[in-house]
Amino acid sequence: MVRTGCRCIVAFALFTSAAAAALDVTVVPSTRYQIMRGWGGTPIAAQSLKPALRDEMWDVLTDDLGLTRARLGPQGWEYQNDNGDPFSLNAAALDTSQVDRAMTELIVPFRQRVLARGEPFSLYVSPSFYNSGGSGEAQPWLTESAGEYTEYALSVLAHLRTTYGVDADLWSVCNEANNANVFSPQVVQRIAHELGPRLQAAGYPTRLEFPEAVNADAAWNFVQAAQGDLRLWPYVGLISWHLYGSNTQRPALLAFAQTKGIPTGQTEFLSAT
């Protein structure tokens, strides 16, 4: 969910039962609590479906559930550094295959369905760099050079624009930063100082999603570490977290976000029943 002030983007499911049938709900249009900006998820599992079944899934997700937001993880993009110059990209060193498959089979058709409904579509890019697991850990050139990381991010965004005509609304420096990876608050801030201005200078509308931590309490640690960072906040478009572990600091995140005029959002939860 993405929340701005007391207004939030919420993902939820409704379940019917005998008890629910007796429930009366009264809607008072004059009373406003939240503004839904959109909600969505990571549709990567749909790649295992047959095309016909995938088409039916888009109908359910867009027409029945109203999903409008998608997440892209650019895995496999640049396993080895293209070269030692963060301002001169060697495109031949990039492997676009995984991103191309995700865009062609998932993101583009999902986006088309959302836009056809007259809804605003939102895409954010969130690379994972777990020290163990399928993503693979971050290479030192990514974490030790803000310039090289920025070149990596810009190369992904350029490919999305030139190949698919899509601009990402948000970029997360690291999915679940500081959770089984080396992206500490200091590392993320250092990268953001370079990435934010260069995104703007290159003409991208993409803002930073920060910090997309594993839970609200971890996100609050990032926010506290960066609360006085004047070089960071002008480029942040969303304060986000995931719903694992302890989430007692959601009120603190909301209060801080209100002082900055930045939306907040819960951007992952995989354990729903």
SS3 39: coil
Interval 159-176: pLDDT, tens: 999 999 999 999 999 999
Question: Are 130 and 181 in contact, with CB atoms under 8 Å apart?
Answer: yes
Question: Are 210 and 174 in contact, with CB atoms under 8 Å apart?
Answer: no
DSSP state of 200: H
Q: Examine the pLDDT at 200 and tell me if it is beyond 60.
A: yes
Burial of 130 from C-beta contacts in 10 A (0-12 / 13-18 / 19+): middle
Tell me the Cα Rg of the chain: 19
Interval 28-58: pLDDT, tens: 989 887 777 888 877 766 778 888 888 888 8
Tokens coding 138: 């971050």
Q: How far apart are CA 128 and CA 126, in angstroms?
A: 7
Task: Name the residue type at position 103.
Answer: M
Interval 205-262: pLDDT, tens: 999 999 999 999 999 999 999 999 999 999 999 999 999 999 999 999 999 999 999 9
Q: Give the H/E segment covering residue 170.
A: strand 170-172
Q: Is the pTM of this model over 0.75?
A: yes
Burial of 24 from C-beta contacts in 10 A (0-12 / 13-18 / 19+): exposed
- Alpha carbon 151 to its chain's center: 19
Q: Examine the pLDDT at 20 and tell me if it is beyond 60.
A: no
